[in-house]
Amino acid sequence: MTAQAMHKRVWGSMVAGVMMGLTMLLVSPSSNAEYADVVINNYADAAGMRPAVFPHWFHRIRFRCKVCHADLGFKFKAGGNKITMAKIIDGKFCGACHNGEVAWSVENCAMCHSGIPGTPTHFHGSTLQRLVAPAYKPLPVGKSMKKNK
């Protein structure tokens, strides 16, 4: 082996090392979203929309649990309510308030549909997610949509 080829090898492994180091620094898969934020992606990805993010903290400042979970019939289960836009415009679920009277109306699509595409339905920071379920990683953009085609 010539000295030149040897140098190439050394530099090659150095560059590879640098690249690996950089990816480790740049890619941080952990999210630190607010406790009790719910990502709802039953149908959103399939319809070409970002998943909806429901912040419990914002709503419990304004309403007691009872309003949604007793009066409006939201089940205590992430993704268990099978909410669709059709139900919302008929005044069910989110539509009971998000009608332009109690809260802003449905034309502000991106206010709810603001999640990273490909994020599955889950309850952020739940004990179950922390202890039992594997950590999720958002799929690369567009991948989940390909699957559905």
Partner 1 sequence: MNLSSLKCVPVLALGALLAIVALPVQVIAAEGAETLQLAAVSQANTFNRNLKKEKSRNPPPPEDGIHDVENEATFILQSPREAFAELPKTAFGNYVDWVKAIDQKLLRPRWDRLNSAEEPFVMDLDIVRPVKASVPDVVFPHRQHTEWLFCSNCHPAIFIPQKGANQINMSAILLGRKCGVCHGKVSFPITTKSCRKCHSKPKPKGWKPPLSEATLRNPWK
* 97 is a contact residue toward partner 1 (CB under 8 A): yes
- Residue 125: closest CA among 113, 138, 114, 136: 136
Q: Which C-beta is closer to partner 1: that of 24 or that of 86?
A: 24
Q: Does 105 bind partner 1 (CB under 8 A)?
A: no
Site membership for partner 1, residue 26 (CB under 8 A) = no
Residue 3 CA: distances (Å) to CA of 6, 8, 61, 75: 5, 9, 70, 70
Query: What is the C-alpha separation between 6 and 18, in angstroms, rounded?
Result: 19
Q: Does 143 bind partner 1 (CB under 8 A)?
A: no
- Angstrom distance (rounded) from CA 71 to CA 3: 79
Task: Report the nearest approach of partner 1 to the CB of residue 10 (Å).
Answer: 6
Binding mask 27-66 for partner 1 (x = CB under 8 A): ---xxxxxxxx-x----------x--x-xxxx-xxxxxxx
Strand order across the 52-55 sheet: 52-55, 37-40, 122-123
* 42 CA to centre of own chain: 11
Q: Does 111 contact partner 1 by CB under 8 A?
A: yes
Which residues are near partner 1 by CB under 8 A?
1-3, 6, 9-10, 13-14, 16-18, 20-22, 24-25, 30-37, 39, 50, 53, 55-58, 60-67, 69-72, 76, 96-97, 102, 108, 110-111, 113-117, 119, 123-128, 131-132
